[in-house]
Amino acid sequence: MKPRMRFFNTINNKLEDIKTIDESHMKLYVCGPTVYDRPHIGNARSIVIYDLFFRLFLALFDKVTYVRNITDVDDKINKAAKEQGISINELTNKIIDLFRDDMAKLNVLLPTKEPKATDHIKEMILMIENLIESGHAYVSEGHVLFDVNSFAEYGKLSNRKLDEMISGARVEVANYKKDPLDFVLWKPSSVNDDESSKFESPWEFGGSNLGRPGWHIECSAMSTKYLGKNFDIHGGGADLQFPHHENEIAQSICSNKGSNYANYWIHNGFLTVNGEKMSKSLKNFVTVNDLLEKGEKGVVIRFMLLSSHYRKPLDFNQKGLEDAKKTIEKFNAVVKEGDLESFLSETVKEDLSQYDSNSIYLKVINSLTDDLNISKALADLHEEVKNVKSSGDEEKRLEFVKTLNFLGFIDMERFEEVDDEYSSEIDKKVEERVEAKKNKDYALADKIRGELLEQGILIEDISGGGSIWKRS
C-alpha cells in the first residue's frame, strides 16, 4: 500500500492529496532547459528538485513516465549562435551535451523522455490548426496568436483577472494583435534568422511560409504526445507560472476537446546569490560548471540545492556550500566501496511493506510524500547516521546506504583514485597524528583521525608506532 501523498497544488493554492489517473502509473511533465548556455545554479535547482520527485515516484509506482523537454529554438538561441559565429544546430547540440554532463555530475537521473522542440514541429502545427478551427486562435501578418478572450478561465493558475492583466500590461502592443495579452503560437521567420530555425508552415507572409513556433506551444504539443490530453503533474520554476504555464493551460484545453491538461501544478522557489538576484551585470552569475571547476563535488552541489524546502527561496552562498560538504562527508563516512555494486543501480520500486515504521528508508519516503519535506528527511538522516556508527549494526548501515543512494547523496568521487597531491596531504596528516601520539597529545591525535574519517579515510595503527591509511 502506497503512503498518502500530498503536495501543494498551485492552481488551487493549497495542499492536496495526489490521486493519479492510473493508480499504478505516474505521469509527470517538467519544463526543461533552453539550450543557449550551460546551466546556472538556478536552473540546476529546478532540475535537482524534480529529480527527487522522480526518484520518489519510482519508489512508489509500478510505472513512471517523466517527460522533461529541451527548448532548442528560441530568440536567445538565435542571438547566442550569432555571437559565437556558429549555426543554431551546432550551438544546441553542444549545449545539450554539456547540460547532460553537468546534470549527471549532480547525480540527476535521465528522464523517461527528453524530447526536443525541433523534432516536434509537426505536432505543434497540428495543435495550432486545431486552435484556429475552434475559434481560439487567429492569423495576423504571418503570426498565429491565441485569443485570450476566448478562454474564460485564463488567469486561473496565476490567480490574475483578465481585466487587471490588460490594464496593467506594460508591453508595447504589436499592431497585429487584437488584444495586448494575446500570445504568439507561430511567427514568421525574419531575413536574419539562421536557416536551421526556419520551418515550413501553412501560414504565408511576405511571399514565404517559413517560420518558427512560439515558446509556449512546444510544451503543450510534447506533453500531449507523450502523456496524453490529461496527465497527473506538471512542474517547473515559479517564474514560469505566468505567462508560460498559464498559456500552456489555455492552448492545451482549447485545442484538445475534453482535456483538463495537468491535474496538479507544482512550482519550485527562486534562487538568489548572497541575497541578491543572480545576474551577469551583478557579476554573481554562477554556473554548475564554475563550481565543478573550482573543485566542488557534484553531490555537494546537489545537497546544497536540496537543503531548503522546494517551494521556498534558496540563497546560494559559501557557508551553505561548506555546510553541504560537511554533511555529505558525515553521511558518506559509513559508505564502503563494496556497497557500490549492491546499491548504485537505477532507483527501482520497493516493496514498502518490508520496512517497519522505524526504518530510515521508510521515514525518508514518508517525509517526502508530505510535500517533499526534505528538512524532516535530513533530520532523520542525521539521527540515523549516529545510530549506525554507535551500534555497528551492519543491517542498519546497509539500509542507510540504500537511503543515501535513493536520494542521490552517495559521493562517488570518494572511490576514485586519490591523486598525488591529495595523497601527500593525507600522508602529512597521518604523520602529524603519529607525532601527536609520540608527544602524548591524544586529543590532537583523535581530532586528526576524526577529520580524516569525515573524508572517508581510515587510519590503522601498525606495530612499531607507525600508521597507514586507506579509504573506508
Alpha-carbon distance of 27 to 68, in angstroms, equals: 11
Secondary-structure percent of the chain, ordered helix, strand, coil, rounded to 5: 50, 20, 35
Please report the pLDDT score of residue 278 as a whole number. 84
Give the pLDDT of residue 310. 97
Q: For 170-207, b where at least 16 C-beta lie within 10 A, e where not — what string?
A: eeeeeebbebebbbbbbbbbeeebbebbbbebebebee
Looking at every residue in the chain, the average pLDDT score rounds to: 90
- Are 240 and 30 in contact by the 8 Å Cβ rule? The answer is no
pLDDT of residue 352: 80
For position 464, what pLDDT does the model report?
58
pLDDT for 362-416, tens place per residue?
999 999 999 999 999 999 999 999 999 899 899 999 999 999 999 999 998 877 6
Q: List CB contacts of 257: < 8 A, sequence separation 6 or more.
A: none
Q: Whose CA is closest to 180, among 192, 190, 193, 167?
A: 167
CA dihedral over 350, 356, 358, 363, signed as positive or negative? positive
Q: Point out the residues of the chain with pLDDT beneath 70.
A: 1, 163-173, 280-281, 341-350, 416-423, 456, 462-465, 468, 470-472
Amino acid residing at 360: I
Q: What is the pTM of this model?
A: 0.86
Distances in whole angstroms, Cα of residue 95 to Cα of each of 101, 108, 183, 292, 347 = 10, 17, 28, 17, 27
